[in-house]
Amino acid sequence: MAVALSPSPATTVPGRETGRRAEALLRRVDLRIGRRLDGLLQGERRGRRPGPGGEQSLTRAYEPGDDVRWIDWPLSARTGEPMVRVPELEPVLTAWVLVDMSPSMAYGTAVRTKLDLAREVVAALGLVLRRRGDRLGVAATTTGALDLVRSPRGDRRGLVAAIAALDAVQVPETPGRTDLAKAIGTLGRVARHRGMVVVISDFPPSAGLERALGGLGRRHEVVAVEVRDRRESEIPRLGPVPLRDVETGRTVVVDTSDPRFQERFRSAVGAADEARAGMMARTGARLVTVRPDQDWLLPLAHALGGVRRVRVAAGVGR
């Protein structure tokens, strides 16, 4: 089913300054990946071009045009006809990332907001997939519609342009909650080719979210990246302070020094974490929790390394 995507007032045209910021972000993340992940990523998958030292998988009769390096001479001598062993190849993985850009993602008490970290995760995804020869498409939502859709590309220029376009999406200033389930459903119709979808959000409880993730998981590998600020898990004892829900606009005054409040807060956080983990387990999505004040590269790399791939033999179906 075709999906009509109209320009959204929440998106502005990326300017030169936005492009420079995107390039700087990409260089910074690329440096961190080079230092932290090169040893982990090397050798995690086969190359797409077969070589004489590649792993062998399929044996078949020699056909004109086959690489002579594939010929299995001992087997050919036993059978009396030329036989080849064809290395396995992996298809290009088409991946999509959906960024939740609701008002709650603009929150942050560390050196950056949750949305800043989400942009870094997008850059890291694009760089890792590009090194593996894969492609990444970028989408963003502020209220439930797709405010940004960038087609999958595997080159650096396309990744810089996608990050710049993401930076140009305006987070709503008025309180409101994003219909993340609607955005996931729409992206599922846009991402027609089987592959991987990464959803970056703080995943507030919402109706239909489990069903949307489950539907997406029937066709794609789904990685859920939960972005969490440290103050969403623990609140210091500061006495009475006003707390405002940036998605509903409601403000309440709580006594953070009250042991009963601290106990209720820890209980609520634990219940939400348990419910979220259960939902991800039921839908088959891989859950990765990242925080602006903690290292997030290794957990993300492990999640990407676990994505299943269907290998095919080179030369089959020619």
Which pLDDT score, from 0 to 100, does residue 50 have? 44
Q: State the Cα–Cα distance between residues 95 and 115, nearest whole angstrom.
A: 20
Contact 239, 257 (CB under 8 A): yes
> pLDDT tens digit string along 56-86?
457 888 887 777 888 889 889 998 999 988 7
Q: State the Cα–Cα distance between residues 12 and 278, nearest whole angstrom.
A: 38
For residue 55, pLDDT over 50 is answered with no
Dihedral angle, C-alpha 212, 153, 121, 46, nearest 10 °: 100
For residue 7, pLDDT over 60 is answered with no
Residues constituting the chain: 318
Phi first, then psi: what are they for 13, rounded to 5°? -75, 125
For residue 119, pLDDT over 80 is answered with yes
For residue 226, pLDDT over 90 is answered with yes
- CA-wise closest residue to 219 among 179, 178, 190: 190
Percent of the chain with pLDDT over 90: 46
User: What ranges do the domains of the chain cover?
Assistant: 16-40+92-227+284-313, 56-89
- CA-wise closest residue to 55 among 88, 100, 13: 88
Name the pairing type of β-strands 135-141 and 251-255. unpaired
**How would residue 12 be classed by pLDDT, with cut points 50, 70 and 90?**
low
Q: What is the assigned CATH class of domain 16-40+92-227+284-313?
A: alpha beta
| Token digits of residue 154 | 């595997």
Phi first, then psi: what are they for 189, rounded to 5°? -80, -25
Q: State the Cα–Cα distance between residues 89 and 188, nearest whole angstrom.
A: 27
Which pLDDT score, from 0 to 100, does residue 36 have? 61
Burial 239-273 (b: 16+ CB within 10 A, else e): eeeeeeebbeeeeeebeeeeeeebeebeeeeeeee
- The distance of Cα 123 from the centroid of its chain, to the nearest Å, equals 10
Contact 101, 140 (CB under 8 A): yes
For residue 280, pLDDT over 50 is answered with yes
Q: Residue 202: helix, strand or coil by DSSP?
A: coil
Percent of the chain with pLDDT over 70: 82
